[in-house]
Amino acid sequence: MKWDRKTGIRRDDRGAAGIEFALIFPVLILLAISAADAIHAVSIKARLNNAAASVGDLISREESLTKSSVGDIMSVLDDLLLPLDGDRAKISSAAFDIGKGSDPVLKWYEGEASHGRASKISIPDQMMSKDRATVIQVQVSYDFSPTLSLSAFPPVKLHTETYHSVRNGSTQECDDCQAE
């Protein structure tokens, strides 16, 4: 206790730190949970990148493809994302004919994303070649629900896409895949 010389009244400042801590503590908890959610989202994004790269690599190694073989390759996504919920993930793959100076042309696609004539893609410049070639694009998305969303906000969609050159030859066909 301290004496206030002007008023002659004793002031009690014991417990001021406790009150300040009680006011700050909920904010600190929210910051800690938000930081954990951000780290978890970054971890999921890295896992999505690895999964898309693995699926794209497997597709680009195949000499001949069918709808069922592409589906079998894409079905490994659930295993690659473990322990995450595979039902929240979507995957698609597509093949584009590319050539230097021309727009990419869709050859085939498989999966849940929409590809077609109207879809614009931006293939990295280093993949554009002088001759015609096929580039495989794999898109993976995941519906991430932060801990603090409390059903007030919709899930955040994490998305990644990778591009792969065909390993065996310059073009790749899929006999019964969707073409438009």
What does the pLDDT look like over 31-80, one tens digit per residue?
888 888 889 999 999 999 999 999 999 999 888 888 888 889 999 999 99
| 128 lies in some domain | yes
Q: What is the dihedral of CA 121, 125, 129, 135, to 10 degrees?
A: -40
| 177 lies in some domain | no
Angular region, 171: left φ>0, alpha ψ -120 to 50, beta rest: beta
Query: For the chain, what is the largest distance between any 2 Cα atoms, rounded to a whole number of angstroms?
Result: 95
β 156-165/133-144 pair status: antiparallel
Residue 89 confidence (pLDDT): 92
Q: How many domains does the chain have?
A: 1
Domain that holds residue 37: 13-165
Structure tokens at 22: 């009680």
| 180 lies in some domain | no
| 116 lies in some domain | yes
| 134 lies in some domain | yes
Average pLDDT over residues 117-142: 74
Q: What amino acid occupies position 96?
A: F
| 6 lies in some domain | no
| 176 lies in some domain | no
| 34 lies in some domain | yes
Residue 118 confidence (pLDDT): 45
B/e letters for 107-136, b = 16+ CB within 10 Å, e = fewer, are: bbbbbebebeeeeebeeeeeeeeeeebbbb
